[in-house]
Chains A and B, each alone.
Chain A
Amino acid sequence: MNANGKNGELRIGFYICHCGHNIAGVVDCPAVAEYVAKLPGVAVSRDYKYMCSDPGQELIQQDIREHKLNRVVVASCSPLLHEATFRKAVAAGGLNPFFFQMVNIREHDSWVHTDRAAATTKAKALAHAAVRRVRFHKALETTRVPIHPDVLVVGGGISGIHAAITIANAGKKVFLVERDPSIGGHMAKFDKTFPTLDCAACILTPKMSAVRSHENITLWTYSEVVKVEGYVGNYTVTVKRKPRYVNEDLCVGCQECIKACVYKEGKFPDEFNVGLSKRKPVYIPFPQAVPQVVVIDPHYCLQLKTGKCKKTCLEACADRQAIDFTQKEELVEIKVGNIILATGFKLFDAKRIPQYGYGLYPNVVTSIELERLVTSSGPTSGEIVLRDGKPPKSVGFILCVGSRDMKTNRWCSRTCCMHSMKLAQLVREHTDADVTVFYLDIRAPGKGCEEFYDKSLRDGIQFVRGRVAEVTDWALAPEEEGKLVIRVEDTLAGFVRRIPVDMIVLAVGMEPHADAQDVRRLFNLSCGSEGWFLEKHPKLAPVSTFTDGVFIAGCCQGPKDIPDSIAQAGAAAAEAMALIDKGYIEQEPNTAYILEQDCSGCKSCLPLCPFTAITFDEAKQKASINAALCKGCGTCVAACPSGSIHQNLFEDEEIFSEIDGVLSYA
């Protein structure tokens, strides 16, 4: 089709959207339409209340037919929001969808200006630019690339587990990669969950076993993703499998080797019990661990450290021969179409607030430490005791430790109010202790959470409003002797109080992992200023990212509780499956291409391409671009010394005419 109509005549349709008051409140839309109507090549120029509405789109289609339009320009909101909408409308009217240009006069104009006359002037200039530009648009076709149906889930906490099972249940293959020796994440450490007080293990372990036994899930624990290449639908991922010195296929989890270890007692801090108990160099992370496979810690194992050990573990394993001290790190390459990141969070280090005395006073503990104490499978078999083994007579909970704090982390960690109230109720259940909760605001917005707060109040838990100033061990009054004293301004009573207690629980907040920035770079994501992974849109695309085919779920996106994490995991799974079931990816034709006759074969472009889309044809001595790999970043276009690289939708004449258009408005 001749781009300029039958006679080569240019017939542009221009539409300016009021967007209710969003644009029309600041920009004089009829005046812009009137101005554009007089520009050369413009056949129709209209203003309309909502261009994105059905009648608005219908208007474009009708004009294409009646006025024989061959180019369309819409001045409205951001192309991110509605470019696809209007391209579709143009195509429905019978034109190639790329004979269309969009002008953003909302985010770029009406929303950021208040002076009506100046904003109208700017809208006219921007409209003029688009009208000039669209003349040079070419008919382009989107290309379809097939999608690899397998999915990679990174992180085996509750979010990753749920996402993996959801996708696997739909018949897709899933690789679940977890850094630790077992899946289960933080939730595996919990005794009960709020606000229902149901047993965390009872609801988590069936899901963990399901992962292990699912025919569609390949579970790789003690493994990390080290390299990601490719693009949506076609990722090549390299996974590092750390040696556990035990053959996963041969080990049955009988734990005879652990009993037989030359270390008769545990000697090294047990990660699962956050250092409250000791483990041996050969261990299984916790009784319900999945997989039920032993790990040998090379930092502590005598054989691995010194090569001098009686190797009693080998004897115990006997004929199974599951222990293998020669195991080496392994790199495995897999191909997947979509990736779901559920890498979670780390807890705030309470030592960063020295005035709360964590690490200084033994009976100042963190919320996760108390969680382990209260769990029946924990280091004290569920007894809440002080370091000297006696039960506490009084317990104080300090909230917002490393949350809502200008000096450490500014965000609300969202779960600590409820988590602390749950622990407070469990303390009341397990001991005779008086419990006081020191809070800034109680945030209990989840379903059933306010009712849980009510129950806490009725159960006799004391609440004192105020940020605790410090925890000290010096006494002013006889009743403070030998106690930890909490100094706090009670902002409801209006004075400073000193409250002596036996045990202090710091409700530590959530933070992004220390290596979140590395993971971000690995998967080509963005992070917000706090370091959480950034979603594509906070409301409309909460589990998508700016990298197509990479989704986020759970606390790596920001602090959230278990129900919210599960909801996100399900959403991420659905998004991935929507792409898989469609079967192909439609690629924007904004790719770069090389005019072979102009290419001098200098190879300048080759190392510049971030997507390795450029190859060099040694026979012809010319570079060539694989359109399927090109993401249209334009780096090579700008760098090419001979000007032989061009880019669809960003041709020189398109850009220069656009500039001319902006500048010609006086």
Chain B
Amino acid sequence: MKYSYFPGCSLKGLGRSYEESLLPVMKQLGVEIAELEDWNCCGATAYMSVDEAKAGVLAARNLAIAEKSGPHDLLTPCSACYLVLNKTKHNLEDFPDIRDTVHNALRRGHLTYSGNTKVRHPLDVLVHDVGLEAIKQKVVRPLKGLKVAPYYGCQVVRPYSTFDDAWNPTTMDRLLAALGAEVVHYPLKTKCCGGSLTGTVPEAGLRLTYILLKEAVRRGADVIATICPLCQFNLDAYHDQIDRRWGPARIPTVYFTQLMGLAFGLPARQLGLQRNFIPMKALGTERATV
């Protein structure tokens, strides 16, 4: 099982603990991962809303490099990258104007893209390609008693609900259950985390973040599991402001890959768990079955 890998900027910066946990987990499962050479910014949703064609060029360059590197699916952990690359693929299929602009630009860079490379999220790959059975076999330290709120964020299932339901995704719920965790009923699982509004219009953005946090606390969760770097940052980084505005709603937010790493028996530091503002309480060692 081999995949090309597009980390995007987040996984090398703010969201480095996502990469720090993703790579060893994949290695444990025998999944081979090759980072794209000379990848560039996906353009994020910001550029898309300014100029879709030019933003498409930026994103399509990554797709072209991936296609050149081999016939593997492109693993894209960041939800924003995942959405932008998928949207670019759709735009190239549906809009001849954008297709022409993008292909002309790629040609000047001595690149082509025929549309073959699939853009895949690690959650999709882990559950559907690797499979829950294979994952279960690697669990040496089940997350027994750990109550987890599964939080998917908006972008991974909308608008392209390619591998799960747009309203009620359950892929991560099943994965967490396979790790032995207790999955908390969390109907806010695809609600907006505030996105970039936490920085630009905090009044609106932080309110959304607060709702997610306080509902996770109210429903008895020990930890929120996320699959997106921006979600993780918003839910983790603004607790002081949230405390001031609405009162405390303290709960750690970690990547689902970090929980997988813990269940696989990897040490917390190796999974980047020390980087959290709100730290996750250590799991009792008595649960280790090694």
Contact = CB atoms under 8 A, between A and B. Distances in A.
A355 B167 contact: yes
A198 interface: no
B215 A474 contact: yes
A476 interface: yes
Interface residues of A, number: 8
Interface string B152-168: 00000000000001011
A238 interface: no
B130 interface: no
Contacts of B168: 354-355
- The size bracket of the interface on B is under 10
B199 interface: no
A472 B185 CA distance: 12
A474 B167 contact: no
A473 interface: yes
B192 interface: no
Contacts of B218: 474
A472 B165 CA distance: 18
Interface string B184-200: 01011000000000000
A504 to B, nearest CB: 14
A608 interface: no
B48 interface: no
B211 interface: yes
A373 B165 CA distance: 33
Nearest to B168: A354
A360 interface: yes
Given A472-B187, A473-B187, A474-B188, A354 B165 contact: yes
Nearest to A476: B211
Interface in B125-151: none
Nearest to B185: A360
Contacts of A476: 211
A362 B211 CA distance: 23
Contacts of A355: 167-168
Interface in A456-473: 472-473
B171 to A, nearest CB: 15
A474 B165 contact: no
A354 B165 CA distance: 10
Interface string A347-367: 000000011010010000000
A406 to B, nearest CB: 13
A473 B165 CA distance: 20
A453 to B, nearest CB: 32
Contacts of B188: 472, 474
A472 B218 CA distance: 14
B187 to A, nearest CB: 6
A472 to B, nearest CB: 6
A202 to B, nearest CB: 43
Interface in A517-554: none
Nearest to B188: A474
Interface in A439-485: 472-474, 476
Nearest to A356: B167
Q: Which residue, of A354, A474, A476, has the highest number of chain B Cβ atoms within 10 A? A: A474
B167 A354 contact: yes
A360 B165 CA distance: 17
Contacts of A474: 187-188, 211, 215, 218
A474 B149 CA distance: 14
B272 to A, nearest CB: 30
A354 B164 CA distance: 14
A502 B281 CA distance: 38
Nearest to B215: A474
Contacts of B187: 357, 360, 472-474
Contacts of B185: 360
Contacts of B211: 474, 476
Interface in B181-221: 185, 187-188, 211, 215, 218
A355 B187 CA distance: 9
Interface string A576-612: 0000000000000000000000000000000000000
Nearest to B187: A472
Interface in B217-236: 218
Nearest to A471: B187
A473 B215 CA distance: 10
A149 B129 CA distance: 64
A357 B211 CA distance: 19
A506 to B, nearest CB: 15
A354 B218 CA distance: 22
A354 B170 CA distance: 12
A335 B265 CA distance: 74
A357 B187 CA distance: 9
A288 B187 CA distance: 42
A84 to B, nearest CB: 51
A509 B211 CA distance: 33
Q: Which residue, of B167, B185, B188, has the highest number of chain A Cβ atoms within 10 A? A: B167
A355 B218 CA distance: 20
A12 to B, nearest CB: 55
A474 B216 CA distance: 10
Contacts of A360: 185, 187
Nearest to A474: B215
12 contacts: A354-B165, A354-B168, A355-B167, A357-B187, A360-B185, A360-B187, A473-B187, A474-B187, A474-B188, A474-B211, A474-B218, A476-B211
Given A472-B188, A474-B215, A476-B211, 14 more contacts: A354-B165, A354-B167, A354-B168, A355-B167, A355-B168, A357-B187, A360-B185, A360-B187, A472-B187, A473-B187, A474-B187, A474-B188, A474-B211, A474-B218
Closest 9 CB pairs of A and B: A354-B168, A474-B215, A354-B167, A355-B167, A472-B187, A474-B188, A474-B211, A476-B211, A473-B187
